[in-house]
Chain A
Amino acid sequence: MLENFKRPDKKIPKKMIHSTLIEKYFSGSLNKTELLEFEKLYKNDSEFKKEVDVLKDIKIVSEKEDGNKFRNELKSFESEFLNKSKVSLKKWLNPFSAVAAIILIIFSIQFFSKTEINEDTLFTAYFEPSKNVSTPIVRSENEQNVTTNAFIIYSEKDYEEATILFEKAYLNSQNSQLLFYQGNALLASGKTKEAIDAFKQHLKFSDMLTHRSHWYLALAYMKNKDLESAKKELKALINSGESFKKNEAISLFKTLE
C-alpha cells in the first residue's frame, strides 16, 4: 500500500487512491508517508479538500446524533428504573400485594432457576433484523425487479410489505437466501410462527446464510417460549464454525441454561 503512494501505479484510478487515503485518515491509520500525501492533496487539490471537509462535518454530526440516541437510551433506562421502583414500592405498600408476593416467593422458590428467564426481554435485547449482506441496492429506474424492491422496502423497515415482496421474489428466482430475509421480516413484524417456518425452510438449503438462520430461528423459538428448541438451534450455530453471532449465541445459550 505504501508503494502506491510513493510511486502511484497509473492503473489505479486516482479516485480510488484518494478514497483509500480518506478511509485511512478517518480510521487514524495513515502512516507518515500517507499523511504527507494526504496533507499535500488537502492543500493543493480543492476537490479533495472539499470532499474531506464534508466528511469531517459528517463525522461531527454523526457524533452528535450518536450522542442524542444514547441520551434517549439513558432516558429509557431512567424511566424503567423509576417504574420498577414505583412498582416495588406499590407492591409492598399494599398489604394484599404483600401477602400475594410472599405466596409468590414461596411458590417460585421451587421453580426459581427455571422461571427467571424473561423471553420477551431477551428477544428484544438480542433480536435485530439482519442487514442486507447479499445484494447491494442500486436504485435505478430501469431495473426495479421484485428482489431489489424487496430489499429497498426491507431497508426502510417496512417489514410487513417486505415479507410479501420477499415471498414473491423467492417464487420468481428460487434464490434460497431470500427465505432468510423473509424470515427476518416476519420475525420483525411479530409473525413468529411464520418466521419459524421460513427459517426452517431456509435451513433445507445450503447457501452463505444457512448457518445464520439457526440464530434467528433460535430467537423465534425463544419468543415462542420454546426454550429447548431455541437451545438446539443455538448449539447448531455454535458448532457450525460460523463466526456470525457466535459470542452472542454462547452467552444466550448460557442464559437459557
Chain B
Amino acid sequence: MEQHDVEALKTDNHFLIKKLYNTHRNGFLNFAKQYNIAEIDGVDIYQEAFLAIRKHAISGKLYTVKSSLKTYLFGIGKHLIYKKLKEESLKTTMDSVHLKIDTTFREIPLETEKELTKEQQLLHYYFKQLGKSCQHMLTLSFYRGLTNEEIATLEGYESEAVVRSQKSRCLKTLKDLIKKSPKK
C-alpha cells in the first residue's frame, strides 16, 4: 500500500486525509449504488470504512498489505455493505446481486467492535471531562502505545521526564474524577 497514505492516516495528517476522503468518495458511492445502497447510507458506510482503515493503519496492519489503499478501503466498504444488507434481511437477494456485479474488490472482514462494559462507559464519561491535552496524552500512551520518549519527540516536550510527569498528572486527575463521582 502507498506508505505516505498509511503514514497520513497514522499521524492524523488532516490535509492528506481530507484529500483521500474527497478522492474516493464519489467512486465509493457509485460502488455502493450497485448494491442498491442509498446515497445517505453510502456516505455512512464510506465513513465507517475510513474509520476502520485508519484503525488498521494505527495498529500497523497496513504495512504488510499489498493492495492499494483504494482496493483495501473498498474491500472494507464491501464488508460493511454486506453487513448492512444482512441486517436489513436482504441477504438472500443480495447474494444473487453481488455475485453478478462485483469481483474487483475482495471483501475485507472486520472484527466486531465490543460494547463498552458499564465500568468502561463510566470511565469514558470521565475521560471526556479531561482537558484535551490530557486526553491526547493518554491516547498516545495507551491506545497508540507510544513510549514517554517517543511522545516527547513527537510532541516536542523537553524530556521524557516532562511527559512522565504530565501523564501521571492526567491519570491522577482521571482517578480523582472517578473517586468524586456519585456512588450508585
* A contact residues vs B (CB 8 Å cutoff): 23-24, 26-29, 54-55, 57-67, 70-71, 73-75, 77-78, 80-81, 125, 130-131, 133-134, 136-139, 155-157, 208, 212, 244-245
**In the complex, are the beta carbons of A60 and B47 less than 8 A apart?**
no
**In the complex, are the beta carbons of B18 and A59 less than 8 A apart?**
no
Instruction: Determine the distance from Cα of A73 to Cα of B18 in the docked complex, in whole angstroms.
Output: 9
Instruction: Determine the distance from Cα of A73 to Cα of B21 in the docked complex, in whole angstroms.
Output: 11
B33-82: which have CB < 8 Å to A? 43, 47, 50-51, 54-55
**In the complex, are the beta carbons of B21 and A55 less than 8 A apart?**
no
**In the complex, are the beta carbons of B157 and A131 less than 8 A apart?**
yes
Q: Which residue of A lies closest to B114 (CB)?
A: A60
Which of A60, A61, A66, A134 neighbours the largest number of chain B CB atoms within 10 Å of its CB? Answer: A61
**In the complex, are the beta carbons of B143 and A27 less than 8 A apart?**
no
* Among candidates A67, A131, A157, residue contacting B55 with C-beta atoms closer than 8 Å: A67
* B contact residues vs A (CB 8 Å cutoff): 12, 14-15, 17-18, 21-22, 25, 43, 47, 50-51, 54-55, 116, 119-120, 123-124, 127-128, 131-133, 135, 138-139, 141-143, 145-148, 150, 155-158, 162, 165-166, 169, 171, 174-175
**In the complex, are the beta carbons of A26 and B141 less than 8 A apart?**
yes
Instruction: Determine the distance from Cα of A215 to Cα of B143 in the docked complex, in whole angstroms.
Output: 29
Instruction: Determine the distance from Cα of A75 to Cα of B127 in the docked complex, in whole angstroms.
Output: 22
Taking the closest CB of chain A, its distance from the CB of B27, in whole angstroms, is 13
Cβ–Cβ < 8 Å partners of B133 in chain A: 131, 155
Instruction: Determine the distance from Cα of A60 to Cα of B55 in the docked complex, in whole angstroms.
Output: 13
**In the complex, are the beta carbons of B162 and A136 less than 8 A apart?**
yes
* Among candidates B12, B124, B156, residue contacting A64 with C-beta atoms closer than 8 Å: B124
Q: Which residue of A lies closest to B152 (CB)?
A: A133
Taking the closest CB of chain A, its distance from the CB of B111, in whole angstroms, is 13
Can you list 26 A-B contacts with CB-CB less than 8 angstroms, sorted by A residue number?
Answer: A23-B141, A23-B147, A24-B147, A54-B175, A58-B123, A58-B171, A59-B142, A59-B143, A62-B127, A62-B139, A62-B143, A65-B127, A65-B139, A66-B139, A67-B51, A67-B55, A71-B47, A71-B51, A74-B21, A81-B22, A131-B155, A133-B162, A137-B169, A155-B131, A208-B158, A245-B156
